[in-house]
Amino acid sequence: AQKVTQAQTEISVVEKEDVTLDCVYETRDTTYYLFWYKQPPSGELVFLIRRNSFDEQNEISGRYSWNFQKSTSSFNFTITASQVVDSAVYFCALSGRGSWGKLQFGAGTQVVVTP
């Protein structure tokens, strides 16, 4: 069975602060993909990043960066220099070879950025 845990329910920061979102996953698949999606108040889930299980290289894309560690089954996501427009619910998701096409989502973390 696959499981994604986002322990942080809500994070509140002041604009320009960095925000790190935690994600811990469980899977028996040796090949899997991890995702981060953003859901603003409009409701649409917006794809942010994808990582496969064979690539632990951490990267930075603009103000987004991620830290993937297979040893601890974690896939954390950081927003640098947060902006008010970053206010949204962020979901971590997992898709494994054993159930390809089925995204297993965490419960989400609400990020509130105040001016």
Tell how far CA 70 is from the center of its chain: 15
Residue closer to other proteins by CB (options 15, 45) is 45
Binding mask 16-55 for other proteins (x = CB under 8 A): -------------------x-x----xxxxxx--x-x---
| Exposure string over 90-106, b if 16+ CB within 10 A, otherwise e | bbbbbbbeeeeeeebeb
Helices (H), 12-111: none
**Considering beta carbons, is residue 56 or 100 the nearer one to other proteins?**
100
The two three-digit tokens of residue 78, written as one number: 């950081």
> Which CB atom, from 93 or from 111, has the smaller least distance to other proteins?
93
Binding site for other proteins (CB under 8 A): 4, 35, 37, 42-47, 50, 52, 91, 93, 99-103, 105-108
